[in-house]
Structure 1
């Protein structure tokens, strides 16, 4: 899977990490809504390299175009 690492991707990764910390959620709790394992979440947060499909979902989520209920509905 293609990993993205542009300034926009890095900013989205940082924004998601700040949001996760503000929500006081673990990496597993926060990133599972995007179908991401804890190990992958750790790599995203430490390297800011995000798989292309995850970046698309993340931008839509952070910009309010999709809600948490739109993500991984079978886990709720």
Structure 2
């Protein structure tokens, strides 16, 4: 499970804070809005799966951008 919040789009970047698995250990990701590549990352201090969670954050930000819907302030996502 992953919570994305403080989702902001500015110029050619979309960014958000995230917390994995209901923890209080916040990370931050910035993604390019055209290439969907990660531009900056500050990993959460959550002990497990640091790169996996950031990969899911990137994927969710891409979904937000390609949906053309209004950018939400926060979302929660799960996978299995």
- TM norm structure 1: 0.33
- Bigger RCO of structures 1 and 2 (CA < 8 A, at least 6 apart): 1
More strand by share: 2
- TM norm structure 2: 0.32
More helix by share: 1
